[in-house]
Structure 1
Amino acid sequence: MTTLLALDIGGTKIGWGIVEAEASFTVTERGSIPTLAAQGGADVAARICALASELIESHPAITGIAVASAGVVDPATGTIVSATDIMPGWAGTKLGDLLSAHTQLPVRVLNDVHAHGLGEATLGAGRPYRSVLSIAVGTGIGGAFVEDGRVAFGSRGIAGHVGHVHHHFAPDMVCSCGRLGHIESFCSGSGITTWYNSLRPQDKPEVDGGRALQELADSGDPLAQACFARSAYALGEATASLVNCMDPAVVIISGSMTRSGDIWWDGLNEGFSASAMTPVAATPILVGSLGGDAPLLGAVSFFLNA
């Protein structure tokens, strides 16, 4: 049996798990600390190293560190190649080298959404399938294409950035990347909230997040319902376009938006059916099964099999 420390580094929190890997993977303990991203990449990296050292001291059986991290990651070196301004100075952080030097253990680092997709593909809902298109729809939108248990990285490590597919519903909507018209700008949890607030009548208050917008839609608000239906339809069309190009055996959708109810799912399936070519129209669309453990387990899978 192999015991690994798995880390999931996001903009809000740094999750950790102690994973026992044998015939199957089991997260035996888990926890988290705040990322405090605004304090900058150097501070975040120092706190990650301190957390890893503390956990390794209390779990001497740990033989390696598997990391899923926000930002574009060079999987060969564990360096953060680029990152958004949510975590200033995170880009350029040699995370793999820092953790290895601090703990004297081998370290492998993978982008968090790539890790999520790999976890679902090899250990979750995609396990019976040879090729998986994983799409995570939460605060933002990310994804991964996994075939034969391996993530497709592309030449610059950004393959799978499905949130930056263009859609004609959003010609003037600004994406988190600064470009116009990408589906993340109105299909993600943050995007759909911004979209609703831009369309709402002046006598209605702004909603402060996806959950509040969901409650509004569930109460029968027609604009909130229309935003869910229309954004889901667009996501379905974009998903079909990706399936037309990549021909995966299955699509796995994960993230908070999957809990948006029948209006959202009906819209997504309708959009997919409208745009999927006949040979791929029957491609299954499944819900992820691993929840928050997906990036931890995907990072461990990458550590052991890369």
Structure 2
Amino acid sequence: MSGGDPAVYLSFDIGGTKVASGFVTLPDRPGGTPVVTGRCEIPTEAARGGDDLRERIVALAVRQLDRAADEGTTIAGVGIAAAGVPDGETGVIVSATDILPGWRGQRIYDAFARVTDLPVRMIGDVGAHGLGEASYGAGRGRDVVLSIGVGTGIGGAIVTHGALFTGAHGVAGHAGHVPSALGRGFLCSCGTREGHVEPVASGTGLRDLYNRRREEAYEGRPVADGDVPEPALSGADVAVRAGLGEPLACAVLADSARALGECIGGMGNLIDPDVIVISGSVVKAGPIWWDALRAGFAESALALVRPTPLVEGELGGDAPLIGAAAAIDRHVRS
């Protein structure tokens, strides 16, 4: 990479459903915008196991590197946003849930070293999302950024002065596992039923909260009664019903968002960020959700934290790829 030229990195975003990849050109001047090209993806096919997934990712990397060579693009390094808890120093996945069987223990750096001598850096997928937003999105220019991702699950990231804070065990930012009274009795992805916010405030959590309250409200009455709603199929389904004015959906959406806002207020009290960036599919749930989220935050946050802006992320699905590129860029320049 010659001095002054924009750096181009090969990035990966490894999730439970798909693995995305693309070439990320980072800007060579302050205020510039990253460009993602050559985007492609393969299905994760988690049931095939961690070894199979590792090998298919490496095969995808070979195809992408060949493509870059054919196009005359010089790749400066490889950035990886990985599901689970990766060790960025050793390249080992130190923890993973049953969503990706056999993923824990995978040695990703060793696998990539078989096909390329480029530098490789791996961080968590939610951390990459937060780093992307902090570096080039809604958190750009802020010293301390708290990023919260609200989708199928809930995750978070803390970025200070451009660096991702991962904590002593690599689990810093697990925002979905903050206690919430609303979550008591709901099974969290971590295995507890003692009351985490994720199982009632994620997309799947909205669905589960709606369906439990539906059962309680209409116990013993068939859907054929006419005024009994069908079970919700997803969090998006709940949001649509709320948008149409259904009372049950409106109450569930508001209660869920308020609980999440209260948790984010507590996180804000602990971290004292300059800005809190909220991303993910659930942020599209509409004004009921946003109003309740901000109300819960205001009720929970300390007076000096309360003015902290809660803003929607700007980078969308490119955020993890951009964040992974930012991580390898910081690594090769350090």
TM-score by length of 2: 0.89
Range with bigger deviation, 100-109 or 113-122:
100-109
Unaligned ranges ≥5, structure 1: none
The structural deviation recorded for 1:90 is: 0.2
**Take 2:125 and 2:269, find their aligned partners in 1: how far apart are those partners?**
25
Which one of the candidate residues 219, 222, 229 is aligned to 2:247? 222
**Take 2:7 and 2:143, find their aligned partners in 1: how far apart are those partners?**
26
Q: Which residue of 1 aligns with 2:269?
A: 244
Percent identity reads 47
Range with bigger deviation, 57-66 or 154-163:
57-66
Q: Which residue of 2 aligns with 1:102?
A: 115
**Take 1:214 and 1:279, find their aligned partners in 2: how far apart are those partners?**
32
Q: Which residue of 1 aligns with 2:320?
A: 295
Secondary structure, counterpart of 1:73 in structure 2: strand
**Take 1:283 and 1:211, find their aligned partners in 2: how far apart are those partners?**
28
Q: Which residue of 1 aligns with 2:226?
A: none
The structural deviation recorded for 1:209 is: 1.2
* 1:265-276 pair list within 5 angstroms: 265-276=290-301
Range with bigger deviation, 207-216 or 247-256:
207-216
Q: Does 1:231 align with 2:236?
A: no
Q: Which digits, 9 at most, give the CA deviation of each residue in 1:208-261, with x for residues without a partner? A: 112222222212211111111000000110000011111011100000111000
**Take 1:215 and 1:169, find their aligned partners in 2: how far apart are those partners?**
22
Q: Does 1:21 align with 2:30?
A: no
Secondary structure, counterpart of 2:36 in structure 1: strand
**Take 1:127 and 1:196, find their aligned partners in 2: how far apart are those partners?**
36
Q: Does 1:8 align with 2:21?
A: no
Asked if 2 retains the 8 angstrom alpha-carbon contact of 1:52 and 1:103, the reply is no
* 1:117-128 pair list within 5 angstroms: 117-128=130-141
The structural deviation recorded for 1:2 is: 2.4
Secondary structure, counterpart of 1:280 in structure 2: coil
Q: Which residue of 1 aligns with 2:43?
A: 34
Output the amino acid matched with 2:325.
V
Q: Which digits, 9 at most, give the CA deviation of each residue in 1:84-142, with x for residues without a partner? A: 10110000001122112223322111100000000100111101211000000000000
Output the amino acid matched with 2:23.
I
**Take 1:222 and 1:100, find their aligned partners in 2: how far apart are those partners?**
56
The structural deviation recorded for 1:279 is: 1.1
The structural deviation recorded for 1:263 is: 0.5
Unaligned ranges ≥5, structure 2: 1-5, 224-228
Which one of the candidate residues 40, 47, 57 is aligned to 2:56? 47
TM-score by length of 1: 0.97
The structural deviation recorded for 1:20 is: 1.9
Residues matched between the structures, number? 306
